Structure 1
């Protein structure tokens, strides 16, 4: 659940999706949470879905997104796969339906009101701090259907201003399942679909604020080293 592969600046999930942004351990804020997701396997998967047979051996069923924190006991809906009844629901419509002609889906989720503020203060009902972007993918790979849950850590510590667009956090809150419960519901793929040939995965920490800046720097240096080694390996093939 918490493993990921960084290669050439992209975050490869244990599913068909590739995350272009944000990078793991990024400190975020501003008006929106912005997530860019490549749904074509860097051009290896036919798009749009209308060009695919429903019996195709490899295809997407859906992607849902949540903002979760086991430390802070929160699980907010970013996109639950349904179309909002109106603009004030606070969540984003089906990810695969965004920008129909594009293979990169840009999710722009307005931060809810309890994340307004600066730094990691938890005063006055703030829920700011260390989170995971949790991506749930339902898809078919080589004729077999899978459901995978993939978490990558971010930190909600940059400034988020007040806005009339922000909904109350309670309207987006879901039951927070334990890591063991989520892991039990997630299938295991035999390998990363788009990066084969011995590609290794790295283990993600869900609490970047606890590791400190030095630890995050060491982690990213490790990813850079692994990426260089993988580049050489793939060139060899």
Structure 2
């Protein structure tokens, strides 16, 4: 979704989270999808959450992650904010609860079966251009927000068969069009952690799935989606 800001290799989202890895437009594969997320605003947000009052003006409520592709018509759950009932569920537990003592949350999501391939032209049709879609619910300066940010990647590197991989159908959610998401979009007054005068590099998303050709060329893509709309957007498993 549009342009975004990278500062010293960190991707600043329209919210409190900062993505340390992967970098945008990275070809991925291997055993797992690995996402590293800084939830401290590089030390500006008190951590752990137990040190914050429930009425603090700035705090996280939730982070959910999905792997989406408009061109391939897929929307897979990576983490929907709930704890998996068993190891075979195929999705990751609540992001903010991972590694409780660390301000960087490492998401390790086992690729599902339909993404298995060896990086050749005979790969399964589900492989290709995707977005890691990050949904954040948070309070900033006393106002609650729900934002959606898409980090473009490609599932093109080799992914081997494994007994740990679940059927893609068990992770599939309804995929709304970008236009439908845009109907409920809004903008934050600014990016919480990018300071005035910071050295930034403007990075435009590729023509990967989930990217509109005629998007506004803003430094940071800031989309706010209502909480009720998020329930419709991604069905809980």
TM-score category of the 2 structures, normalised to the smaller one: 0.7 to 0.9
Q: What pairs up with 1:57-136 in 2 under 5 angstroms? A: 57-119=57-119, 121=121, 125-136=124-135
Q: Aligned pair 1:205/2:215, yes or no?
A: no
Q: Which has the higher contact order (CA 8 A, sep 6+)?
A: 2
TM-score by length of 2: 0.83
Q: 1:182 offset after TM fit, Å?
A: 1.8
Residues 120 and 78 of structure 1: CA distance in aligned 2, closer, same or farther (over 3 Å): farther
Q: Aligned pair 1:165/2:169, yes or no?
A: no
* Runs (5+) with no aligned partner, structure 1: 209-222, 224-237
Alignment length, in residue pairs? 209
Q: 1:202 offset after TM fit, Å?
A: 4.2
Partner of 2:48: 48
TM-score by length of 1: 0.83
2-side partners of 1:206 and 1:76: how far apart? 20
* Runs (5+) with no aligned partner, structure 2: 210-218, 220-237
Residues 14 and 60 of structure 1: CA distance in aligned 2, closer, same or farther (over 3 Å): same
Residues 41 and 129 of structure 1: CA distance in aligned 2, closer, same or farther (over 3 Å): same
Partner of 1:185: 184
Over the residues paired in the alignment, what is the CA RMSD in angstroms? 2.0
2-side partners of 1:89 and 1:206: how far apart? 32
1-side partners of 2:148 and 2:19: how far apart? 14
Q: Runs in 1 of length 4+ with deviation above 6 angstroms?
A: none
